Every structure is written in C-alpha cells, then in structure tokens.
Amino acid sequence: MSTEELLKLISKQWCSLDDLRKITGLGKNNLLKLKREIKKSLNNNSIPNKLLPMNEVVKYLNIDVDYLIKLERKENLNVDNK
C-alpha cells in the first residue's frame, strides 16, 4: 500500500475490519483479536458493533501520521521532478 493510500484510509472516521486488514496485513483470526483489544481499550459501548473509531486505531497501532505526510510530500516532489 502506498503512503497516499494509507493516508486516505486513515483519514476516514470509522475503521472496518477490511480497513484494519489493509492497514496491518493480518489474517482474519489475528484481526478479530486486534479488534477486540482495541474495542476493550476504548471502554465505550456506544460505538457501532462492526466499526472502530479510526483515530483510536491510529493511536493503538502507533501510526506516525506526521511522518507519513512528510513522506508523501517527498514522494510527490520526486514524481514532479522526473
């Protein structure tokens, strides 16, 4: 997955199981385990059953959004210079 695709994906409000698979590359069993862990860490029963707040997924997975943005800018500059 490219940096641009990852940034677009994590900019969504909600994270589905398929989104989580794309971000992590995990198989179904590990995805379900990770989803349970993230949901448990939220201690909030008012979120939709099949979705997780994307900002919490980014936090839990420790995704450095600022770094991804810098990397995307650098990639765009390299493409423009060719």
pLDDT digits (tens, 9 = 90+) for 25-64: 999 999 999 999 999 888 876 788 889 999 999 999 999 9
Task: Dump pLDDT digits (tens) for 71-82.
Answer: 998 887 776 665
Q: What is the pLDDT of residue 32?
A: 93
Taking the CA atoms of 23, 13, 63 and 61 in sequence, report the sign of the dihedral they define.
Answer: negative
Task: Kindly tell me if the per-residue pLDDT of 67 is higher than 90.
Answer: yes
Answer whether 24's CB lies under 8 Å from 34's CB. Answer: yes
Q: Is the pLDDT of residue 6 over 90?
A: yes
pLDDT of residue 78: 73
